Amino acid sequence: MTEGTTKNEMEIFEIISHGGNARGLAYEALQAAEEFDFEKAEDLIKQAAEELGLAHKTQTKLIQAELNGEAAEKTLLMIHAQDHLMTAISEQKLIEHMIRIIKKLAPKQ
């Protein structure tokens, strides 16, 4: 490793990347719902969930490695990745709820 890099840097960036992708897709889904395009919103939420699944898989891999005795570096970057993922999960759940509300309020066609 070079100075300034961590052992798990690639995994950390995977968590950040997939979490960010999930957040972006969830907000696109909300925008689609605001336009009453619920089919598109549903597809985007599904894609967001897949991205969160990938981030969670990487997170689980790191947790399991630590449980199996591989010391994990506690870095600001790792903390940021965890915070980023937690926020993405929370926002997706909130956006899913908002979409359900918008569906109820949508004009009947």
Q: What is the pLDDT of residue 108?
A: 83
Tokens coding 56: 């969670």
Q: What is the pLDDT of residue 1?
A: 46
The reply to whether 83 sits in an annotated binding site is yes
Q: What is the pLDDT of residue 8?
A: 85
Q: Which of 18, 56, 80, 84 is catalytic?
A: 80
pTM for the whole thing?
A: 0.87
Q: Which residues contact 2 (CB under 8 A, 6 or more apart)?
A: none
Burial of 50 (0-12, 13-18, 19+ CB in 10 A): middle
pLDDT digits (tens, 9 = 90+) for 33-70: 999 999 999 999 999 999 999 999 999 999 999 899 98
Q: Is 56 a catalytic residue?
A: no
Give, in order, the Cα–Cα distances in Å from 23 to each of 48, 60, 64, 98, 103: 7, 19, 25, 14, 21
The fold of the 9-99 domain, in CATH, is Methane Monooxygenase Hydroxylase; Chain G, domain 1 (1.20.58)
